Amino acid sequence: MEMLTLSNVSKRFGSHQILNDLSFQVSENTIYGFIGENGAGKTTTMKMILGLYSVDSGVIQVNGERVTYGQTNTNRYIGYLPDVPEFYGYMTPTEYLRLCGEITGVAESQIKNRIPELLELVGLEKANKRIQGFSRGMKQRLGIAQALLNKPKILICDEPTSALDPIGRKEIIDILQSIKKQTTVIFSTHILSDVERICDEIGLLHNGTLALNGTLEEIRNMRKSDGFMIEFDKVDDAKNFANIYMGCEFLSGTELSFNGKTKEDMMAAMRLLYENQIYPVKIEMREPTLESLFLEVVSK
Ligand SMILES: Nc1ncnc2c1ncn2[C@@H]1O[C@H](COP(=O)(O)OP(=O)(O)OP(=O)(O)O)[C@@H](O)[C@H]1O
């Protein structure tokens, strides 16, 4: 079942067209990585999903219900973690979550059980101190706990890992991974290694529309390989082979790159190496990374 559907959504601010006929769907219990350069329109899209910005045209549906600008009906399905979550620093996590639960109408009996459960989920069960002393990573984790308070069907996180160090990022990624069974997760980022670690599906927003959309595997398979490289022990060996196999490039004195070549081309190169008795140190097929695909798309 689709938890989120955007159909032909367009949005402009003044003369600046931010989104142009944007369409995509996110299925239940998937982790969807919404990637794009700074200013691509990721936050704008999220705010439209939350009904905080109007759409100029097109339709957004959350759990099958149409989102209406200014109304919050569909937000009962959504937990939202903004890029910089704000808290009352003088409160402890328990006090803060209790306040959020009371404001949003969660029953007292539920609040009581839910708070320790959530604090454990985000690894803050022992952090019984004021939030003002928290690290950025701890604040992001508390933000996730807050967003999950109402047991949302969708958790939307705006760049949850961008300001964190590798350990903090891993903690957030592990939490998102662990809640996937209960909640569909949509998170925006420009950190492609995080996307590669956990996302089931990816959408790359570029020029107001999705330039790439699909599973990581589908996207990688769009371009089978980035060619191959051969490393030699001696500079002379590299030079000799560059004269035999035309059209390669030097990556360094001892490394040659064979861009855009196939596995069959690599086998042919190995045969030539053997026939000419030139010994390589390393021969490697280069798989396209998400980063190389991303750069290829955004530089067009
Ligand atoms: N309320 C607004 N009024 C006018 N322009 C806006 C408004 N909100 C966003 N924009 C512009 O829309 C464009 C997209 O912004 P948005 O914040 O959605 O991008 P983003 O992909 O989230 O980028 P980042 O990764 O930097 O957060 C930017 O050029 C931004 O300046």
pLDDT (tens digit per residue) in 82-136: 888 888 999 999 999 999 988 888 888 888 889 999 999 999 988 889 999 899 8
Are 156 and 80 within 8 A, CB to CB? yes
Tell me: do 248 and 196 sit in the same domain.
no
Does 295 have pLDDT greater than 70?
yes
Cα–ligand 1 centroid distance for 217 (angstroms) = 30
Does 291 have pLDDT greater than 90?
no
Cα–ligand 1 centroid distance for 258 (angstroms) = 40
Closest atom of ligand 1 to 83 CA is: 27
Tell me: do 158 and 22 sit in the same domain.
yes
Cα–ligand 1 centroid distance for 14 (angstroms) = 12
Residues lining ligand 1, Cβ inside 6 A: 13, 18, 36, 38-44
Cα–ligand 1 centroid distance for 205 (angstroms) = 13
Atom 25 of ligand 1: nearest residue by CA position: 38
Atom 24 of ligand 1: nearest residue by CA position: 38
Tell me, what's the pLDDT at 223?
Answer: 67
Atom 6 of ligand 1: nearest residue by CA position: 13
Tell me: do 203 and 235 sit in the same domain.
no
Atom 18 of ligand 1: nearest residue by CA position: 41
Tell me: do 59 and 127 sit in the same domain.
yes
Q: Model confidence at 224, in pLDDT bands (50, 70, 90)? A: low
Tell me: do 257 and 202 sit in the same domain.
no
Average pLDDT value for residue range 203-207: 92
Closest atom of ligand 1 to 44 CA is: 18
Tell me: do 46 and 135 sit in the same domain.
yes
Examine the fold and report which residue of 167, 187, 221 is the final residue of a domain before the chain moves on: 221
pLDDT (tens digit per residue) in 30-83: 999 999 988 899 999 999 999 999 999 999 999 999 999 988 889 999 999 988
pLDDT (tens digit per residue) in 127-182: 889 999 899 899 999 999 999 998 999 999 999 988 888 899 999 999 999 998 89
Tell me: do 238 and 283 sit in the same domain.
yes
Examine the fold and report which residue of 178, 195, 221 is the final residue of a domain before the chain moves on: 221
Tell me: do 196 and 78 sit in the same domain.
yes
176: CATH: 3.40.50.300
Order of strands across the sheet with 228-232?
249-252, 255-258, 228-232, 280-285
Structural domain range at position 16: 2-221
Does 254 have pLDDT greater than 70?
yes
Tell me, what's the pLDDT at 246?
Answer: 85
Tell me: do 100 and 6 sit in the same domain.
yes
Tell me, what's the pLDDT at 157?
Answer: 93
Best residue among 19, 43, 81, 84 to mutate for probing ligand 1's pocket (most ligand atoms within 8 Å of CB) is: 43
Examine the fold and report which residue of 167, 190, 221 is the final residue of a domain before the chain moves on: 221
Tell me, what's the pLDDT at 256?
Answer: 95
Best residue among 11, 35, 37, 44 to mutate for probing ligand 1's pocket (most ligand atoms within 8 Å of CB) is: 44
Token reading at 293? 């695909």
State the total domains in the chain: 2
